[in-house]
Amino acid sequence: MNANPHNPQHSAWTVRESDVVVIGAGPSGLSAATTLRAAGKSVTVLEARERVGGRTWSKHVDGAFLEIGGQWISPDQTVLSELVEELGMDTFSRYREGKSVYRAPDGTVTQYTGEMFPVSEETEREMERLIEILDGLAAEIGPHEPWAHPKARELDTISFHHWLREQSSDEEACNNIGLFVAGGMLTKPSHAFSALQAVLMAASAGSFSNLVDEDFILDKRVVGGMQSVSQAMAARLGDDVVTGHPVRVLRWQEEGEYPVQVEAEEFSEDGEATGAGVIVHARRAVVAVPPNLYSRISYVPALPRRQHQLHQHQSLGLVIKVHAVYETPFWREKGLSGTAFSADSLVQEVYDNTNVDPETGREESRGTLVGFVSDEKADHVFAMSAQERQEKLLASIAELLGDEAKNPVVYYESDWGNEEWTRGAYAASYDLGGLHRYGMDQAETVGPIHWSCSDIAAEGYQHVDGAVRMGQKTARDIVESL
Ligand SMILES: Cc1cc2nc3c(=O)[nH]c(=O)nc-3n(C[C@H](O)[C@H](O)[C@H](O)COP(=O)(O)OP(=O)(O)OC[C@H]3O[C@@H](n4cnc5c(N)ncnc54)[C@H](O)[C@@H]3O)c2cc1C
């Protein structure tokens, strides 16, 4: 195989040999590398960004510590919990004392306790019935091979929006149930993905009931932030993690001692390229980037037709994570938990996201709220000026929790759609009909190339736990094949 990069005049390229080259230092790539290293394999991890952690990222903004990306762990996410424990990190629970808030489609705002929204008895019955149907389907179909189930085609060729309306004529019930998967998880409108995709989302969290229970799904956070999990894994891997090096070319062949050659040119986020780079010769490659980015890499020879096609049917959703920090958690003084839902508002979900200080282990005195603005609503507010958007989003939170919400001391919007090396949030899902047509091939290896990310996980699909599970599984598969 040609040992030179595409531009052989670059003499400043470093050449490395590893058993495995991992592309992407998010939780999946780093988990794969950690497991491979533990099995005695040499690894090189190449990361495009100048930091590790991918869609998990903590930042200080105007003196406030914010988790820009993934943060919560639920009780079923045992593989991530074990990793956090093994790394010696602590977790803390989301604040959930007091009443939650529900805003009905007619704009009525009600405070409530318990799991069920304060809707009419009839709507409550309909919501419970829909949850039961979805629980049944999730249990029957499971997260591993939803495409193989006899009902796969039927459920994958109808949008979740229309499927819900086939089950119930109660619009409020359909919208509330739709919210948990559409705005709340896949961050696409419910007409843009199938009922089968919704069932996979539920099955990956154990059940639909788990998905609609915010106390389950948004249970714990890592003290110091979820990104620190990736940072700790990267620290153990040391110089074998190379940041600021997007992989542009992956040359591969079926046979040979080193059938993989990966080329990554040094790249700085301010746009400066130095002309230096890294070439890694490896026995296996793990592509640990979200599927929407697979085609940013040139494969030589080209990938098979199935891969070309299937990658075009997976896309990332869009959500803005809105952070607002206040001098005090004012909602708690009113007996509110900070949890609020409104399928019809710009900000459809709000939670208390107050931090625990890693130095003292105590909760900070300032209060933080986090809200989410999904899919078409995100398009709508992104068309506004930054100032107008901030005013509208804070006004939307204020409708739920009170006018104090309009005056945070720190305000920040996580905008992952703008991130070159992600391009959306939270994760990838199939378009209508894509899951039963292509799902069976999404994790198929191509010669020495393996795929690993949360977007193709079964348990923990779309979550950090799924990323870690995929990384560890991919590593075990490679160890076995070597
Ligand atoms: C706003 C937001 C909130 C979320 N909330 C939660 C939550 O509360 N709980 C939860 O469990 N999950 C949450 N998630 C999802 C979770 O963060 C992801 O599922 C997880 O980070 C996926 O890990 P990964 O390693 O598969 O991919 P990523 O984290 O995306 O990592 C992929 C890495 O590959 C790199 N890369 C891309 N292309 C290249 C290339 N060509 N060469 C080299 N490197 C490349 C990227 O820079 C990135 O570092 C959230 C995500 C977002 C964005």
Instruction: Tell me 267's DSSP state.
Output: -
Give the residues surrounding ligand 1 with Cβ less than 6 Å away: 23-29, 46-49, 54-56, 69-72, 246-247, 288-290, 293, 296-297, 321, 414, 416, 421-422, 425-427, 453-454, 462-465, 467
Report the alpha-carbon angle 42-43-49, nearest 5: 165
Q: Rounded to 5 degrees, what are φ and ψ at 130? A: -65, -40
Looking at residue 3, its pLDDT comes to 46
Q: Which residues of 162-190 are buried (b: 16+ CB within 10 A; e: fewer)?
A: ebbbebbebebbbbbbbbbbbbbbbbbbb
Using the structure block, give the residue that is written with the tokens 């007996």: 335
Using the mean position of ligand 1's atoms as its centre, give its distance from the Cα of residue 359 in Å: 26
**Close Cβ partners of 208 (under 8 Å, ≥ 6 residues apart):** 131, 134, 135, 137, 138, 180, 202
- CA dihedral sign of residues 109, 211, 422, 229: positive
DSSP per position, 333-400: HTTEEEEEE-TTSSS-EEEE-PPBPTTT-SB-SSEEEEEEEEHHHHHHHHTS-HHHHHHHHHHHHHHH
13-56+226-303+446-481 domain in CATH 1.10.10.10?
A: no
Please give the Cα distance from 279 to 428 (Å, whole number).
Answer: 29
Using the mean position of ligand 1's atoms as its centre, give its distance from the Cα of residue 107 in Å: 35
Looking at residue 274, its pLDDT comes to 76
Q: What is the pLDDT along the chain (482 residues), one digit of tens a residue?
A: 444 445 545 568 999 999 999 999 999 999 999 999 999 999 999 999 999 999 999 999 999 999 999 999 999 999 999 999 999 999 999 999 999 999 999 999 999 999 889 999 999 999 999 999 999 999 999 999 999 999 999 999 999 999 999 999 999 999 999 999 999 999 999 999 999 999 999 999 999 999 989 889 899 999 999 999 999 999 999 999 999 999 999 999 999 999 999 999 998 877 677 789 999 999 999 999 999 999 999 999 999 999 999 999 999 999 999 999 999 999 999 999 999 999 999 999 999 999 999 889 899 999 999 999 999 999 999 999 999 999 999 999 999 999 999 999 999 999 999 999 999 999 999 999 999 999 999 999 999 999 999 999 999 999 999 999 999 999 999 999 99
Q: What stretches of 10-77 show up as alpha helix (H) in DSSP?
A: 27-38
CA dist 136 to 129, 204, 429, Å?
A: 11, 14, 22
Q: Where are the domains of the chain?
A: 13-56+226-303+446-481, 57-68+91-115+213-222+318-425, 120-211
Please give the Cα distance from 112 to 101 (Å, whole number).
Answer: 6
First-last CA distance in the chain: 20
Using the mean position of ligand 1's atoms as its centre, give its distance from the Cα of residue 47 in Å: 12
- CA dihedral sign of residues 19, 22, 25, 27: negative
CB of 55 closer than 8 Å to CB of 422 = yes
Looking at residue 275, its pLDDT comes to 82
Please give the Cα distance from 181 to 201 (Å, whole number).
Answer: 7
Using the mean position of ligand 1's atoms as its centre, give its distance from the Cα of residue 225 in Å: 14
Using the mean position of ligand 1's atoms as its centre, give its distance from the Cα of residue 71 in Å: 11
Fold of 120-211: Guanine Nucleotide Dissociation Inhibitor; domain 1 (1.10.405)
Dig out the tokens for 44 from the structure: 């090189």
Please give the Cα distance from 340 to 113 (Å, whole number).
Answer: 11
Q: What stretches of 402-448 show up as alpha helix (H) in DSSP?
A: 434-438
Please give the Cα distance from 225 to 88 (Å, whole number).
Answer: 13
CATH C-level class of 57-68+91-115+213-222+318-425: alpha beta
Q: Which atom of ligand 1 is nearest to the CA of 80?
A: 11
Using the mean position of ligand 1's atoms as its centre, give its distance from the Cα of residue 70 in Å: 8
Looking at residue 268, its pLDDT comes to 80
pTM greater than 0.85: yes
Dig out the tokens for 135 from the structure: 């629980």
| Protein residue with its CA nearest to atom 17 in ligand 1 | 70
CB of 72 closer than 8 Å to CB of 219 = yes
| Protein residue with its CA nearest to atom 48 in ligand 1 | 54
Looking at residue 214, its pLDDT comes to 87
Mutate to test the pocket of ligand 1, among 81, 426, 472 (most ligand atoms within 8 A of CB): 426
Dig out the tokens for 392 from the structure: 């509208």
Looking at residue 12, its pLDDT comes to 82
Q: Which atom of ligand 1 is nearest to the CA of 31?
A: 25
Looking at residue 7, its pLDDT comes to 55
